[in-house]
Structure 1
Amino acid sequence: MSISIKTAEEIEKMRVAGRLGSEVLDYITPFIVPGVTTAEIDRLCHEYMVNVQGTIPAPLNYCPPGYIPYPKSICTSVNNVICHGIPNDKPLKNGDVVNLDITVIKDGYHGDNSRMFMVGDNVASHAKRLSQITYDCMWIGIEQVKPGAHFGDIGAAIQKYAEKAGYSVVREFCGHGIGAVFHEEPQVLHYGKAGTGPVMQAGMIFTIEPMINAGKREIKQMNDGWTIVTKDRSLSAQWEHTVLVTETGYEVLTVSAGTPAKPEKYLLG
């Protein structure tokens, strides 16, 4: 397995792409209200990316082996949808939770991130807790990143925290290396054993994007060929950042003015 080490020039391009990817989420935040459709959210994000930022929406027509081309510019995963939800004409309801997964391409480099959004003022406390625990999981994973650490350290820390909360970790989808290529080595698992897997080196860039289910971890793919849901119909949540291994630790690249802050303390202490 060959994991690319990015040059200083590539890292700077990834900083720009990461910031722009995050700024799409900043832009769309006020529009996430009851009654809006995910298709409208997709349209707004597409126009902002193309007309304002001059970026390319990476998911649009993305077609890995075994898939049909993805038909939209963003992924919108509502309630029990784990990932890759395709925007549609169904309005969001008060109390829904939705993950927006945004990847832009700028000057040939990808900025990939996602956030959870609470729709309206009637989101159940258990849904808010799932989102917060998943956010904690992402940051606990990020905190493992430093030269000399193993990629298994990330998954082990995330799995321990999620399961302590009574949740399960999706295993079929994971974080990934990223740069000029959307998905490259390594695979960054969100479960596993500390001290296993490849060793991190300064200059590596990858995503950490845990998908955490309130119920069991088993998944089901819908007939559209893309949408992944929880098999037991329980809620799922996901947060994602793109991370650089630095000489002394890590740098989160998907940062903008509206990026939620790192937790001052974790929900489970």
Structure 2
Amino acid sequence: MIEILTAGEVERARESGRLVGNILHTLKSRCQVGTNLLEIDQWTKAMIQSANADSCYVDYAPSFGRGPFGHYICTSVNDAVLHGKPFDYQLKDGDLLTLDLAVSKNGIAADAAISFMIGTHAAPEDLRMIDTTEKALAAAIDAARPGNRIGDISHAIGQVLSHAGYQINLDFGGHGIGSTMHQDPHVPNDGQPGRGFVLRPGLLLALEPWIMSDTDRLVTDADGWTLRSETGARTAHSEHTVAITENGAEILTLPSA
């Protein structure tokens, strides 16, 4: 299903997006050496509930996971890149942490992810990966203009990732979002320009470039959820929810100024 939201629904999406952005901003400021992933999950739960919002994850049980997910945020560390299920692990100096959060408020969902380093020891390649996903996300947002197609977004992402020397996995990518978290259209992280669904105002998309440093192959943890690089290589992931408007893409998941 592809939803085209009304002006009123887009306004509600702005509220959901700000909440996601604010929670991620707060969590990043709290995460340090010694922080437990289960603490992050509890902080997230408290902030969602205090905002009278709903988690998109806790009861989520898609075909590709061993559901329900049972937690309020995805916490992916080092070689984990997607759907990281929180567990009893204390963050260490030099860890690369990705937080991926989706929340619904007033019936509209928003989804975003950030990758960042813990402590003071940051490997240059880790920083390069994070920077590359952020640049790819910026290129995707620039391409998300009315009249363009999904393939134009995918191509923009793929150009940045491939030119930086990274292999691209097409199993998981961006997606439509609205009254539910995951909707059509699928937005692969590489593709041909001029192909696919035509973008028009009212469409919400979650755009999410992600990479692994030396592979494009994933393996699934015994928890049935956490996806890791097959080689044990480090990973990075950046995501925003955007609304297509008459003037281009409006980023909804930025924190409040």
Counterpart residue number, 2:162:
163
Counterpart residue number, 1:215:
214
Q: Secondary structure at the match of 1:156?
A: helix
CA contact (8 A) 2:56 2:102 kept: yes
Tell me which moved more, 217-226 or 12-21: 217-226
What amino acid sits opposite 2:187 in the alignment? V
Any stretches of 5+ residues in structure 1 without a counterpart?
259-269
CA contact (8 A) 1:32 1:117 kept: no
What amino acid sits opposite 1:211 in the alignment? W
> 1:154-193, aligned counterparts within 5 Å?
154-193=153-192
Report the aligned-residue RMSD.
1.2
CA contact (8 A) 2:18 2:256 kept: no
> 1:104-119, aligned counterparts within 5 Å?
104-119=103-118
CA contact (8 A) 2:81 2:227 kept: yes
Q: CA deviation at 1:170?
A: 2.2
| Alpha-carbon distance in structure 2 between the residues aligned to 1:201 and 1:257 | 26
Q: Secondary structure at the match of 2:143?
A: coil
Q: Does 1:59 align with 2:57?
A: yes
Any stretches of 5+ residues in structure 2 without a counterpart?
none
Q: Secondary structure at the match of 1:4?
A: coil
TM-score (norm 2): 0.96
Q: CA deviation at 1:147?
A: 1.0
Deviating runs (4+, > 6 A) in structure 1? none
Q: CA deviation at 1:248?
A: 2.1
CA contact (8 A) 1:26 1:257 kept: no
> 1:71-82, aligned counterparts within 5 Å?
71-82=70-81
Deviations 1:109-138 (A, max 9, x none): 112111112100101111011101111011
| Alpha-carbon distance in structure 1 between the residues aligned to 2:204 and 2:64 | 26
Q: CA deviation at 1:66?
A: 5.1
| Alpha-carbon distance in structure 2 between the residues aligned to 1:197 and 1:116 | 29
- Percent identity between the two aligned chains: 34
Q: Does 1:233 align with 2:226?
A: no
What amino acid sits opposite 1:20 in the alignment? L
Counterpart residue number, 2:132:
133
| Alpha-carbon distance in structure 2 between the residues aligned to 1:160 and 1:26 | 28
Deviations 1:45-74 (A, max 9, x none): 1111112x1211210021123532002110
Q: How many residue pairs were aligned?
A: 256
Q: Secondary structure at the match of 1:114?
A: strand
